[in-house]
Amino acid sequence: MADVSDKMDASPPATDPVTDWATDYDIFDADYVANPFDVWDDLRDECPIAKTDRWGGSWMPTTYEDVVEMARMVPVLSSRDPIVVRPPDDGPSDHGDAPDASAYTTVNAPPISSDPPVHTWSRRLILPYFSPKATALHEPFTRQLCHDLIDAHIESGQIDGAADYAQQIPPRVIAHLLGVDPGKAGEFTEWVQGVLEVGLSNPAVRTKYRMKIREFFMAEIADRKKNPGDDLISDLLKAEVDGEPVSDLHVAGTCNLLLVAGIDTTWSSIGAALWHLAAHPDDTRQLVEDPSMLPNANEEFLRAYAPVTMARVVDEDAEIQGCPMSAGDKVLMNFPAANRDPAAFEDADKVIIDRQRNRHVAFGVGIHRCAGSNLARMEMEVALGVFLERIPEFSLADPGAVTWAGGQVRGPRHLPIRF
Ligand code: HEM
C-alpha cells in the first residue's frame, strides 16, 4: 500500500550539511532523522542546550532535567505555537475568528496550543473521553481492526509494518471516537501528514491541509447542530464554560487536535516497536511466550523510541537554563532526547523490555501531558499483541528500505517485514 506522503513531495528541501550540531543543528537532516541518538549523546556532553538558525531558528535542550524543567515553565515558555518550525510570516491562520486572519499564524488546537486559563478549561472538556474506562470502550473495535489488517496480508508472507499496519490503526480508532466516518481514514492520514510531516517544510502544503481539516470539522459541527448525536462533537457543542457555550471554532480546533495528535504519534510508536522487534528476535520470543510482559515492554518502546517533539515560544527576553533567550524564540521540547539521558536512565541506550524503573516523558510532562495516553497505550498494546499472536516470527525484509519521518513526530514510514 502506498504511503500518502508518496503523493506529495515528502522530502524537505536540501540544506547545507551540518558541521556543528551545537550551533547549527538541522532537525530534518536525513541521517539525524534515521538516527538522532549519537547527536543527542554528544550534545549532552558538550552543549546540552543547542541552538540553530535553521527552519526559523530554535533552541534544543537534550537532558532530562532541562526538558522537564522547561516543560513546566508556563507561561514563560508559551504553547501558543507548538509546531517545531516557525510558520511563514504571511501564512493564514486556522483561527478564522481573528478580525484580520492574516495577523495570526498560530495553530488553533486547544488545549495543546493554549496557555492557562484557556488551557485549563479546554483540557477539562476532553479528559472524560480518555479515561481508562472510556478508552476500554474502543478496545474491541481496535482488536477486530488489527485482525482484519493482518488477515489481508497473512497469506503473502509479507507486510509493510508501517504503511499496511501501524498507519491504518489510529485514524480508524480516532474516527470511532469522534463519531465520524472511518471510511475517511485514508484522507485523515493524508491531512495529518500534510500538516505535521510534509507541511513542516512546505508552508503551502501545511496551509492547504490545515484548511481541509477545519472545513471538514466545521461541516461536521453544522451537521451535529441539526442532528445531535451521542458523540464527542455533539457533547462539546452542548458544553458551557462560565455559562457561555463554547464557540464552534474552539470545538473545530479541539477536533483538529484530536485528529492530528492521535494519528501519526500512535502509528509512529507502533511502527518503531515493530521495527525493534523485527531486528531483535529474543525480545519477540519473550513477548510471544509471555504476553503479560507487553505493557512493560510498551513503556520501554515509548521511552526508547519516543516519537513526539513539541515547541514552546519564549514569552519575553530572559535567561533560561543559562541561555540568553529572546521573546519569540522557539524552544524544542525534546522529550525523545530526555528519554535517552544516561543521568536519568540506567543503560539509557539499551532497550530493556522488562525495565522496572522507567519515568519516561514520551507523553510529555506538566500541564500539557498527553491527554490521550490511555488511548495510545491501549492501541499500542492491542496492535502489538495481535501482531505477535498472528505473526510470532518475523524479520525486516530489507533493512535498507526502511524509511523514517522526523521533525515533530519521528517514526518509520516504510517497514517491509517478511514472515
Ligand atoms: C504514542 C502515542 C502518543 C504520544 C507519544 C503522544 C505524545 C504527546 C506529548 C509529548 C504531548 C505533550 C505536548 C506538549 O507538551 O506540548 C501530548 C499532548 C496531547 N496528546 Fe498525545 N501522544 C500520543 C497519542 C495521543 C492520542 C491517541 C491522543 C488522542 C486522540 C492524544 C491527545 C493529546 C492531547 C489532547 C494533548 C494535549 C494535552 C494538553 O495540551 O493539555 N495523544 N501528546
For the stretch 109-144, pLDDT in tens is 999 999 999 999 999 999 999 999 999 999 999 999
> Are the C-beta atoms of 401 and 417 separated by less than 8 Å?
no
* C-alpha of residue 115 to centroid of ligand 1, in Å: 15
- Mean pLDDT, range 375-402, rounded to an integer: 98
* C-alpha of residue 363 to centroid of ligand 1, in Å: 6
Q: Which residues of 250-279 are buried (b: 16+ CB within 10 A; e: fewer)?
A: bbbbbbbbbbbbbbbbbbbbbbbbbbbbbe
**pLDDT greater than 50 at residue 395:** yes
- Mean pLDDT, range 160-171, rounded to an integer: 96
**pLDDT greater than 60 at residue 390:** yes
**pLDDT greater than 80 at residue 11:** no
**What atom of ligand 1 comes closest to residue 379's alpha carbon?**
27
Query: What is the model's pLDDT at position 199?
Result: 83
Residue 145 pLDDT grade (very low, low, confident, very high; cuts 50, 70, 90)? very high
> Are the C-beta atoms of 14 and 173 separated by less than 8 Å?
no
pLDDT tens readout for residues 61-70: 999 999 999 9
**What atom of ligand 1 comes closest to residue 365's alpha carbon?**
15
Name the closest-CA residue to atom 20, ligand 1.
370
**What atom of ligand 1 comes closest to residue 258's alpha carbon?**
30
pLDDT tens readout for residues 400-418: 999 999 999 999 999 999 9
Instruction: Report the CATH architecture of 4-418.
Output: Orthogonal Bundle (1.10)
pLDDT tens readout for residues 70-109: 999 999 999 999 999 876 554 444 544 433 333 334 568 9
**pLDDT greater than 90 at residue 358:** yes
**pLDDT greater than 90 at residue 2:** no
DSSP string, 85-145: SPPPTTPPPS---STTGGG--S---TTTT--TTHHHHHHHHHGGGGSHHHHHTTHHHHHHH
Looking at beta carbons, which pairs linking 192-195 to residues 24 or more positions away fall under 8 Å? 192/259, 192/260, 192/263, 192/264, 193/4, 193/5, 193/8, 193/10, 193/264, 194/8, 195/260
Among 50, 112, 122, residue whose Cα is nearest residue 81: 112
User: Which cell is 266 given?
Assistant: 500512535
Ligand 1 pocket, residues with Cβ under 6 angstroms: 71, 79, 82, 111-112, 123, 174, 257-258, 261-262, 265-266, 269, 307-308, 310, 333, 335, 362-364, 368, 370-372, 375-376
Query: Which of 192, 265, 333 has the most ligand 1 atoms within 8 A of CB, as the residue to mutate?
Result: 265
Residue 331: beta bridge partners? 59, 312
Name the closest-CA residue to atom 7, ligand 1.
363
Which helix (H) or strand (E) is 179 found in, with range? none
pTM of the model: 0.94
3-state secondary structure of 21: helix
Query: What is the model's pLDDT at position 412?
Result: 97
**pLDDT greater than 60 at residue 5:** no
Query: What is the model's pLDDT at position 15?
Result: 77
User: Which cell is 206 given?
Assistant: 501545511
Q: Which residue has the cell 491504518?
A: 168
Residue 286 pLDDT grade (very low, low, confident, very high; cuts 50, 70, 90)? very high
**pLDDT greater than 60 at residue 4:** no
Residue 42: CB atoms within 10 A of its CB come to: 14
Name the closest-CA residue to atom 1, ligand 1.
266
- Mean pLDDT, range 327-356, rounded to an integer: 97
3-state secondary structure of 158: strand
* C-alpha of residue 66 to centroid of ligand 1, in Å: 20
Distance (Å, rounded) from C-alpha 125 to C-alpha 189? Answer: 25
The burial of 22, by beta-carbon neighbours within 10 Å (0-12 exposed, 13-18 middle, 19 or more buried), is given as middle
| Cα-based distances in Å from 110 to 34, 82, 126, 360 | 31, 11, 10, 24
